[in-house]
Amino acid sequence: MAEIVTEALSVSDKWHLRSVDLISTLQHQMFVGDRPYWWIGETSLYTDETRPQLRKFPNTCEAGPGTPSGHLMMNVAMFYVITRGLLVGNFAWNSPGIVRYSKLKAVLTAAFLITSAVSIYMLLLSKGMDPLWTLPLALKHCARVEYVRIDTQPFFLMTRFTGTALGLGLGLSSEKRLIVLNSPRNIIRTILTMKAGVILGRVASLIQASFPADDLVLFLILSLSLSIALPFIIIALLPHFLLTMYYGS
């Protein structure tokens, strides 16, 4: 949707989502937010006779804290950018710094994101707080250990928003992206880009699900690589490919 309105609006939307991803990860590490499936098992409000028996599924056994809601924050950020762009006008996001990005700036942005998250993580450890306090609760109260989702852990979230920011920055600074920016806009090509981007996102989810969850280091490395590759393909390679197919070499 943002891609149809203007290039800068689409890119701004992506940057806002990455910023919210960082903020959500930091807040998850600082706030103590229980999830219902382990809270019911831990609370003293119930006795063994009155405690509800919950059915657990892979989608319900998230291992991260329950507060704040990352899904809510992401949707608010996304629709705020799109709504403001539609109401105020294109000039609100018409900044060359948003659309054009240098490789150095992309690397520095990714370094800042990962440094911020790790710094907060180490600060909590130094204060005697365990940022991974939810993992033992998830393993204890989920019906099956394999249901506990490793992709909801802080380390995975750090690799996701860091890799996505790096891939987005590298895509914006690539030569193929500059060629697309200097070409005439076409609504058909834009819609094809959006549809192909959705398909690639779904394929990336399937690839992510195939990563070995029993090897944390390998899982994080593969996740980081995928997080870098996906936005780079969608931002730089895919539009350039469709441009070449549409106009020819």
pTM of the model: 0.70
> How much is the pLDDT for 200?
92
Buried (b) or exposed (e) across 82-97, using 16+ Cβ within 10 A?
beebeeeeeebbeeee
Buried b (16+ CB within 10 A) or exposed e, 159-196: bbbbbbbbbbbbbbbbebbeebeeeeeeeebbebbbeb
Instruction: Give residue 85's pLDDT.
Output: 65
Q: What's residue 3's pLDDT?
A: 46
pLDDT given at position 36: 87
pLDDT at position 101, please?
A: 61
The number of beta carbons lying within 10 Å of the beta carbon of residue 247 is 11
Q: Give me the residue spans of the domains in the chain.
A: 2-247
pLDDT truncated to tens, each residue of the chain (249 aa)?
Answer: 444 445 555 666 666 676 777 777 777 777 778 888 899 999 999 988 899 988 888 888 888 787 777 777 777 777 777 777 666 655 444 555 555 566 777 778 778 877 877 787 788 788 887 877 888 888 898 888 888 877 777 677 778 878 888 888 888 888 888 888 788 877 888 888 888 888 998 999 899 888 887 777 888 889 889 999 998 998 889 988 888 887 765
Sign of the CA dihedral running 242, 8, 169, 122: negative
